[in-house]
A and B are shown apart, each in its own frame.
Chain A
Amino acid sequence: MLAKAIVEPRFKSKKRWRDPNKISPKANVALNFVLILGMLASILPLLIVISVSLSSETTILREGYGLFPKDFTLDTYKFAFSDPRSIVNAYKVTIYTTVVATAICLANVALFAYPLSRPDFRFRTEITFFMFFTMLFGGGLVAYYILMTGVLGLRNSLWAIILPYSFNSFWVIVMRTFFQTQVPLSLIESARIDGAGEWRTFLQIVLPISLPGLATIALFTTLGVWNDWFNCVLFIDKPELSNLNTLIYRALTSARMLREIAATMGSADAAAEISNLPNETFRMALAVITMGPIVLAYPFFQKYFIKGLTVGSIKG
């Protein structure tokens, strides 16, 4: 008995052998439990909003919001798209600005980052500083406002949404690091020996192997422009030029007005008044309509963007 215990190596005891660099199974369960709680917290509000938007208005008013749709119906969405002037138009504006701004931003950032990534470019430090300085110091919001409205005359122009997003110093740094680490210099040199000019090297050799980096920037620029309300609210007054987020921002304030009116009118009448149009479910449907495409697009980009982000954000 004793001899056997001495001879047996420890890991051949009853317990299964465990990698000492992995956490214990108990800790694993606890960890997963905590993370699942957090995960629920991340997505539950979203699910509630989606379920409300799919419920019928009268049931919602009777029973309140909940996690599961009550009396499943698509009426709210039918109602939302029945008035094409506001929502469909806002969609058009949002898609147009997003596509144009993302394209411009991608081109600008990639073109700017590439020379900065090349060690044989003499003005690398100077131009990096020229750009970096703008990240630390700026003229402030008033100067920006005056520039956009007074100097560039962009009031009530969609360029007021596009131009602010068409370049981004932070993404230039990410992209520069991406080029430095992912594109071997020998590749560029061999292209040069084969007689390719700088532009040709960039377009045909460097860009195709930098897709993860480009996808990251495309995703985040798309996200930024899609979710923009700041520039739209500041510079665009015409309702037909407002994008989705501005639309729901305005709906947010008018809902407040509705709330105040309901409070002053006495609740019974107001409740009857409101229930005629799908107010509660419509509000949530608006939120779903606004975030829908961007959340749906996320899995398609995901393959690329974590790689792009992680490679690019290493300090260099």
Chain B
Amino acid sequence: MFLPFVRYDSVAGYKGYTISAFHMLIGTHGLDGLLKSNNLKPMSFLLATVLFFVIGLVLVFVIYRRKPTIFTLAVSLPTVVSSYFFTSMYTWIVKQGAHIMIGFRLLLVIQLAIMVCTIFAIVLNRVSARTGAFKSHLAMFSMLAPGLIYLIVFSYLPMPGIVLAFKRYRVFGRNVLENFYKSEWVMFENFKYLFSSPDAAMITRNTILYNVTFMLLGLVASVGLAILISELPNRRMAKIYQTTYFLPYFLSWMVVAYLGFALFNYELGVLNRILKTLGLDPVDWYMEPKYWPFIYVIANLWKYTGNGSIVYIAAIAGFDPEIYEAASIDGAGRWKQTMYLTIPMLVPMMTLLTILAVGRIFNADLGMFLSLPMGSGPLRNVSNVIDLYVFNSLRGGSNMGFPAAAAFYQSLVGFVLILTTNTIVRRINPDNALF
């Protein structure tokens, strides 16, 4: 209601955009309402956010200690008054010139802080009135503050960027908001490219097929390994296995590419040396696309199975041994116990992890597809996935259309997929659903 988001078109004659106090606050626009060329101060924005929180918390705290009872009135009144006061001062300050701009921004920050902290305090006060835990809640919020700021800046701030899929993003200047505004709407043009060109169809197909394979085989391998390890009577050996199977997870794909090179190198590689000793013809692995889908699947399993099995091993260790004893008294052998007890009891965990994996079905494991082929040309078609294409376009820096459309695709479709899978799972068995 009293937010100082006023139109400045009339003051500055700058048509087309609503220049608000917020724009001035984050430094994209001068006080004259004009866009400034080189003025986006990221740190000032971060600082403002931090300041905003600190001032808010201090104010709430101080005011609370004075008058806990008429608290709401005490904070909200000055906020409303100051808001109107500041808003009416804009025009005057704009006429004064730019030299008091810093002070002006400071005022804005304080004002915003007062407003937010009012809302915050009112809610908090009302909530904790019943429990009397105001102070404790205040401490809790001070603990949450860094994480909340992080989430706002790194997760919620880029979210509107999803509409870039419908725009042709172009760089007009160093100002991001300006670029964002000025870029024209092209609606579905980016998507047309995504769906029409054969290259893009292949990329999408690759991504989905690889991910589905990884998901299914990974699930089987992880659960299988977990069951095998859990069956071992010797706990020390089980620990050693667990540790070694987990080791590949610690290597980045860049390192794994070198491991792969040691195996697949034409002249020196281990695989070709084995082939030679067996009297077979050596294979130039980096030139033969037909082997690579299998290599990718094996590499993926090799790297992630140990990590994936840990959760299942823990789950199996937590199962009640009495259930197994009862089953063995009824005559079920170890095999039957595994089939009819262990696996059904693992299903909730499996469903949970699969739902999360389904949501990421358009997000390929970029590192693997980027590094494993060692930049070999003939392998481009077999290893081109959405993320790789986006990564290359971003590094090229020219065409933002396809990456943006792909990002939209990945985010929104992934989100919808998670919701759908979750709904289906909830229909079947509410206990297995993620939320």
Contacts and interface: CB of A to CB of B under 8 A. Distances in A.
A253 B261 CA distance: 13
Contacts of B211: none
A88 interface: no
B232 A31 contact: yes
A140 B410 contact: yes
Nearest to B225: A38
A290 B252 CA distance: 9
A240 interface: no
B375 A252 contact: yes
Contacts of B343: none
A52 interface: yes
Interface string B306-338: 100011011101100100110010000010000
Contact of B154 (A140, A147, A255, A280): A147
Given A48-B263, A167-B150, A256-B375, A143 B254 contact: no
18 contacts: A21-B321, A31-B232, A112-B147, A115-B144, A118-B140, A123-B127, A130-B151, A131-B151, A139-B160, A140-B158, A140-B165, A142-B164, A142-B404, A167-B151, A167-B154, A197-B135, A229-B254, A310-B313
Contacts of A253: 375
Interface in B250-267: 250-252, 254-255, 257-263, 265, 267
Contacts of A229: 252, 254, 367
A310 to B, nearest CB: 3
Nearest to A64: B268
Nearest to A267: B267
A273 interface: no
Given A136-B415, A286-B258, A42 B147 contact: no
B403 interface: yes
A122 B133 CA distance: 10
A152 interface: yes
Q: List 3 A-B pairs, minimum CB-CB distance, nearest first.
A: A140-B407, A143-B161, A139-B158
Given A230-B366, A248-B254, A134 B411 contact: no
Interface centre among B144, B151, B263, B352 (most CB of A within 10 A): B144
Contacts of A167: 146-147, 150-151, 154
Contact of A138 (B159, B255, B348, B418): B159
Interface string A16-53: 00001111100110011011001101110110110010
Interface residues of A, number: 102
Interface centre among B146, B229, B240, B366 (most CB of A within 10 A): B146
A204 interface: no
Interface stretch (A3-11, A74-82, A95-103, A291-299): A291-299
Contacts of B265: 65
B247 interface: yes
A28 B232 contact: yes
B255 A142 contact: no
B359 interface: yes
B158 A143 contact: yes
Interface of A: 20-24, 27-28, 31-32, 34-35, 38-39, 41-43, 45-46, 48-49, 52, 60-61, 64-67, 107-109, 111-112, 114-115, 118, 120-123, 127, 130-132, 134, 136-147, 150-153, 163-164, 166-167, 169, 172, 197-199, 202, 223, 226-227, 229-230, 233-234, 245, 248-249, 252-253, 255-256, 280, 283-284, 286-287, 290-291, 294-295, 298-299, 302, 306, 309-310, 313-315
B213 interface: no
Contact of A197 (B139, B150, B317, B374): B139
A141 to B, nearest CB: 5
Contacts of A227: 251-252, 254-255
B159 A142 contact: no
B128 A248 contact: no
B54 interface: no
B394 A145 contact: yes
A298 B247 contact: yes
B13 interface: no
Interface of B: 40, 42-43, 45-46, 127-128, 131, 133, 135-137, 139-144, 146-148, 150-151, 153-162, 164-165, 169, 174-176, 179, 225, 228-229, 231-233, 237, 240-245, 247-248, 250-252, 254-255, 257-263, 265, 267-270, 272-273, 302, 306, 310-311, 313-315, 317-318, 321, 324-325, 328, 334, 348-349, 352, 359, 366-367, 371, 374-376, 387, 390-391, 394-395, 400, 403-404, 406-408, 410-412, 414-415, 418, 435
A114 B143 CA distance: 8
A252 B311 CA distance: 34
B140 A115 contact: yes
Contacts of A107: 146
B321 to A, nearest CB: 7
A189 B268 CA distance: 66
Given A48-B263, A172-B147, A310-B311, A139 B162 contact: yes
A144 B158 contact: yes
A109 B328 CA distance: 44
A294 B229 CA distance: 25
Given A49-B259, A309-B310, A234 B394 contact: yes
Nearest to B410: A140
A49 B260 CA distance: 9
B248 to A, nearest CB: 6
A146 B161 contact: yes
